Structure formats: structure tokens, C-alpha cells
Amino acid sequence: MERLRKGKFFGNSKKTFDLNGLTVVDSEFSNFQSCPWHYHENAHFAFTTGGHLVETHRKEKIRLSKGFLMFNYSQDPHFNSDYSEQVSALHIDIDKAWFEKYSVKPGVFEGVIKLYDPALKHLFLKIDREVKNFDDASPLAIEGLVLQALAEMMRAGEKKKVKKPAWAQKAETILNDRLAEKLSLKELALETGLHPVYLSQQFPLYFNDSFGEYLRKTRIRRSLSLFPDRTLSLAQIAYLCGFSDQSHFTRCFRAITGTTPAAYRELLKNSGA
């Protein structure tokens, strides 16, 4: 089985930058068929910026489509297949010395982590823009953005350590599956079998958000999967994700990601995603 050393990835490297322990590789795969079983020496981020493919691990298959982001720290063997005609990806390889330099303990990250947080994806779109328009300020910008991403992941990891009871898992499923509906607290309490007052008290303990905040974040996360479809207007995306109007969508999007839907779509366009 092939072991890929620091900064090495399959595909054709359009650009490669070595940044004090970070190796940033902008790759493309033209009419690629597959790559063999392999594993990576270092931890790395993989951000799919165009096309799609399938990554097969021993326990699961992951479809990597445009905008998909993941982090691999496990040295878990895998192979890639089912490439579309044109695929592009941004990889950021992180060596152990870089983690040590910033006192980041990589052991808090386990295995292959699929990252769906809208704020994280926005950070990687910024990194992709820095790579495509690289100048003397880019090394500092990229390193700062990677540290931001790891900090967000550590915060999310702390939240996941709290085991959710059955009612919380059910509430999570309901809120995710019925985004476009206007659920009332009474309905949610009835379906989870709890008193509304008790549900209101307990929900933030397991989700670190109020009902409204959690629902808004989930709707924004869903909206990100629709942005690459340029046949959909921003108003249509807002409607499909359960927002009452585009202005409400814009306010929530800005509060969660730090940018507007229009600016985010332009960033996607400029990155080629």
C-alpha cells in the first residue's frame, strides 16, 4: 500500500505552496479513473472545489461533491474512484511540527471528519481565493484561516462529547427533516414526549443553542448545498430552506457566516466552484 509523504496527493498539482509546516496543494483531475489504496503520512484537509468522486474507506464510502470539506487525521487507508470528467480539489497538509508550534493537540481529532459547518466552508473558500490570487500577504492569511478552522472544530468536538438522550436525537431529526415547516414549541414537545417548559430548559444543554438559533444554523447549512445550482435564485434558495423571505435569509446568513448570500455566491463563482 502506498504511503503518501508530506504534501503529496494524487492528481496534477496546479499550484503548491510550502508555508512553514503547511503544504497547500491546488490539484485537478482530468479524465481520472481511480487511484489505488493509500494513506497519508500527515493530517490534511481536503476541499472539493469542482466535480465529484467517491472515496472508499474500510468502513464507509464518501461522495465528495463540489463544496465538500473533510479532515483526515487517522492515516486511514482509502482509495478514490468514480471521478467525474473534471475534478478539482484544495488540499492542506499539516505536519506534526506545525501543530506543536501552535500548541494544537491533534489528538482531539479522531479519524476522518466530514465537515458541514457553514462557517468552516466559508473559511475554506477564503483559503481557495488566497491560493488563486497568491501574493506576499497570503501565507499569513492562509495560516490564520487554518488556525480558525481548527479552533472551530475543537469547539464542535467539545459539544459532541455530551451524549444526547433519545428525546434530543428525535428533536434533532425532526428539526433537520422539517426545515421548511413552521414548527411550534407545542408540536415539538408533543412529538418528543416532553413538557414544553422542560424541553425549553433542556434543549440548550445538548445543542448549545436555543431552538431558533439551532433552526437558523441548520437552514443555512442546508442552503450551502443549493448555492452551486446557478439555476436557483437567492430568493428560491431562501424559500426552499424555510425562510419567510430573502431579507430574513440574508440577515441570518450574515450573522452565521459573516458574509451575505450574494457575496458568498460571488466567492463560489470566483473560486470556480
- In the chain, the domains with their CATH numbers are 2-160 (2.60.120.280), 166-271 (1.10.10.60)
Which amino acid belongs to residue 55? E
Q: Which residues contact 17 (CB under 8 A, 6 or more apart)?
A: 23, 24, 131, 134, 138, 139, 142
Whether 255 and 261 have beta carbons less than 8 Å apart is answered as no
Residue-level pLDDT at 79? 93
Residue-level pLDDT at 105? 75
Strand pairing report for 12-19 and 61-65:
unpaired
Residue-level pLDDT at 224? 87
Residue-level pLDDT at 225? 86
Residue-level pLDDT at 22? 95
CA 145 – CA 132 distance, rounded (Å) = 15
Whether 142 and 90 have beta carbons less than 8 Å apart is answered as no
Residue-level pLDDT at 239? 92
Q: Which residues contact 96 (CB under 8 A, 6 or more apart)?
A: 42, 106
pTM, rounded to two decimals: 0.69
Residue-level pLDDT at 220? 92
Alpha carbon distances (Å) from 227 to 160, 230, 241: 28, 7, 12
Residue-level pLDDT at 80? 93
Residue-level pLDDT at 15? 94
* Cα three-residue angle 202-114-104, rounded to 5 degrees: 85
Residue-level pLDDT at 116? 85
Q: Any alpha helices (H) in 178-210, and if so which ranges?
A: 185-192, 196-207
Per-residue pLDDT of the chain (273 residues; tens, 9 = 90+): 888 999 899 989 999 999 989 999 999 998 888 899 999 999 999 999 989 999 998 889 999 988 899 999 867 889 999 999 999 999 999 998 999 898 887 666 778 899 988 888 889 999 999 999 999 999 999 999 999 999 888 877 665 556 789 999 999 999 988 888 888 899 999 999 999 999 998 998 888 888 888 899 899 989 988 988 889 999 999 999 999 899 999 999 988 888 899 988 887 777 655
Radius of gyration of the chain (CA): 20
